[in-house]
Amino acid sequence: MCTQAEFCGKALAVEHDGEVFSCDHFVYPEYRIGNINQTHLGNLAFSPRQEQFARNKSASLPGKCRSCEYLRLCYGECPKNRLLRTRSGEPGLNYLCSGLYAFYDHIGPDLVRIVQSLGRT
């Protein structure tokens, strides 16, 4: 799933008129990357602008996320949900953060046991 991936960018949105946007959650003029009537979709998907969109997901994470022990499980989730500020006032904290953290913290020991048991089969 793109929401748990380190980078965004492969859930392009194509509108009825051929307009292509970086993501189906970001169908706004500033995220328009082209039109399939003028440019092949593959070229749009791997364009420098789309690659920058993908990198921005990780680059825009607040320090709290960067130092989180569960970063590799959520990578800040979807940027559209980064509506809060950290306690120190840094923007970009996902409103789902506390719930995701509690979930990962709760299932952590079970995941370790599952992974270990899979190694024994």
Active-site residues, by number, are 24
Q: Which among 46, 38, 86, 83 has a CA at the least distance from the CA of 63?
A: 86
Would you say 95 and 83 are in contact if contact means Cβ atoms under 8 Å apart? Answer: yes
Strand extents, DSSP E, 1-121: 13-14, 19-21, 32-35, 84-85, 91-93
